[in-house]
Amino acid sequence: MVSIPLLAGSVVALGLLASAVRVVRQYERAVVFRLGKIRKEREPGLFALIPFAEKMVRVDMRVRELDVPKQTVISQDNVTLEVDAVIYYKVVDATRAIVEVEDFEAATLLLAQTTLRDILGQNELDTILSDRDDLNKRIKEILDATTGPWGMHVVMVTMRDVSLPENMLRAIARQAEAEREKRARIILAEGELQASKMMNEAADMYENKPSALKLREFQTLTEIAKEKNMIVVSTGTNSAGSNEGHMNSDLPLFMGLAKAAAGNK
């Protein structure tokens, strides 16, 4: 018969053995402390700890996201806005992440809030709205340089939302409308300028070549005749004789236009 002390000792031994065995997953690292001092960093797999002498701290090595709550920022041109962001980071040195900082995630969050306010406060509102990619890169570089000694690497920083006061939104809308009106007026003025230049060139050509002007006049009369209207054309000259001769020379043309108009009826 097995004695009770032996049975109790076996149970205790099994319990200690079970508590000493540890399993580290592939995406984790284990920082092992022996009597308060770092022994080494364990890779993924199965290993044993010395009961009561060694303790283990698990560190997740995967990329993790950190949600930065909305921060009230005053831009360089004294506009108050609210900005929130998302930070993606990962631990690259588990030992330093445990030893160098008490809580690396909380420390990164506080640092991100401060850096976000500082960087955006140095820029005007138009820069914040238009150059968000550049600002994200600057914030990432600052965070990465600061958290590097903690054994961390900031992968990406993204400003998720920029909230403006209602009166500022109305001002931006008026500014955009005025800008579109300005572009429309510039385009209209450029069109009128080009048209005037072309009309000036046409006038010079008609002045040098009266036959071209006459052909243009005939074309205009032909187009008017297609509208089935009665046409009265008066061509003025300096003398009555020349005017009569001109009318007689144009008489066949007018007759032809009249016949064309009658045929279209």
| CA 173 centroid distance within chain | 18
Classify the phi-psi angles of 52: left when phi > 0, otherwise alpha if psi is within -120 to 50, otherwise beta. left
CATH fold for domain 64-164: Tetrahydropterin Synthase; Chain A (3.30.479)
pLDDT at 140: 93
Average pLDDT over residues 62-78: 88
Tens digit of each residue's pLDDT (9 = 90 or more) over 201-213: 777 777 777 777 6
Residue 110 and residue 118 in contact, taking contact as beta carbons nearer than 8 Å: no
Share of the chain above pLDDT 70, in %: 75
Q: In angstroms, how far is the first alpha carbon of the chain from the final one?
A: 132
Rounded CA separation 40/94 (Å): 10
Rounded CA separation 101/152 (Å): 11
pLDDT at 247: 45
pLDDT at 110: 92
Residue 258, pLDDT above cutoff 80: no
State both tokens at 82.
């609210």
Confidence of residue 88 (pLDDT cuts 50, 70, 90): very high
Average pLDDT over residues 53-61: 85
pLDDT at 196: 84
State the pTM of this model: 0.60
What are the start-end ranges of the E strands in 37-168? 37-42, 45-48, 54-60, 64-74, 80-91, 152-163
Average pLDDT over residues 132-161: 91
Residue 245, pLDDT above cutoff 50: no
In the chain, residues under CATH classification 3.30.479.30 are 64-164
Share of the chain above pLDDT 90, in %: 17
Confidence of residue 173 (pLDDT cuts 50, 70, 90): confident
